[in-house]
Structure 1
């Protein structure tokens, strides 16, 4: 999974340290989905490049889960499918989106952010998981 790749996280760095990808217009790109979106600096830079250089973009989907959605049983109970490290990285990805991506989304682009299920992956459990590791 993404968190085991040892990527350089964008968090903790000033936003002006984002590298610029050589400008190339993408005039026909309508929809982009990034599955396994994480806080990796290179992935955030690529996302910003797409937003800044794609005039035809209608929809951008950033999936921070990199797993299928949780399974809900007939008793209306979630069965979480993400481990603690994946949950922590998903929270970092959401922070990176808020800090670096949201301000670059043009008004005509629909932004979809897929995040861990709030029923079974509550923030409180993330805090306790982070303290244990």
Structure 2
């Protein structure tokens, strides 16, 4: 456990950073933009993996939010090549973090935004059906995809391969609740 936003030291030789963030129902909305301090503390970072697990959606969604996106003073992340966020959802601060990464990296090659929480999928060919997702999870995944299309896709340079993992339309056919 590290209390952001202050990080007392630098991790000069760290190449891969994995953060697993679990949100319990009683916790307030988390400010993901504070994770910038971790990126800044790792100047040699090549791979950043963020796993978000939540059992209750309590956040400030960027969908329908007319306020401006916040920005952090950024350092250049010259070595960051791969970013994967599993459990990606429409939280405004998560969109802001992703935009920060896109704006402050020069070597980024892969950006994966997984709206399904990394659950197994029939699209891999390894399973007949996808992991079950309830209506709330599917609705939030659709909101996340809309947020990606609205705020992130236009910022992705042509040199970066964007992979957006969406709920399977065959296994998760639910009316849109947007």
TM-score by length of 2: 0.63
Determine whether 1:84 maps to 2:141: no
Q: Which has the larger share of helix?
A: 1
Stretches of 4+ aligned residues off by more than 6 angstroms: none
CA distance in 1, matches of 2:158, 2:71: 22
Contact 2:95 2:152 in 1 (8 A): yes
Contact 1:3 1:86 in 2 (8 A): no
2:109 aligned residue:
58
Q: Relative contact order (alpha carbons < 8 A, sep ≥ 6): 1 or 2 greater?
A: 1
CA distance in 1, matches of 2:121, 2:162: 22
In the comparison of the two structures, how many residue pairs are matched? Answer: 123
CA positional deviation for 1:121: 1.0
Determine whether 1:126 maps to 2:178: no
TM alignment of 1:1-133, pairs within 5 A: 1-2=53-54, 4-14=56-66, 17-70=68-121, 78=129, 80-122=131-173, 125-127=174-176, 130=177
CA positional deviation for 1:126: 3.0
CA distance in 1, matches of 2:150, 2:130: 30
CA distance in 1, matches of 2:175, 2:97: 27
CA distance in 2, matches of 1:68, 1:11: 24
- Matched position secondary structure for 2:138: helix
What root-mean-square deviation, in Å, do the aligned CA atoms of Structure 1 and Structure 2 show? 2.2
Contact 2:120 2:130 in 1 (8 A): no
CA positional deviation for 1:117: 1.0
- Matched position secondary structure for 1:4: coil
2:44 aligned residue:
none
CA distance in 1, matches of 2:64, 2:175: 19
Give CA deviations for 1:90-122 in whole Å, capped at 9, x if unaligned: 000000000100110011000000011111112
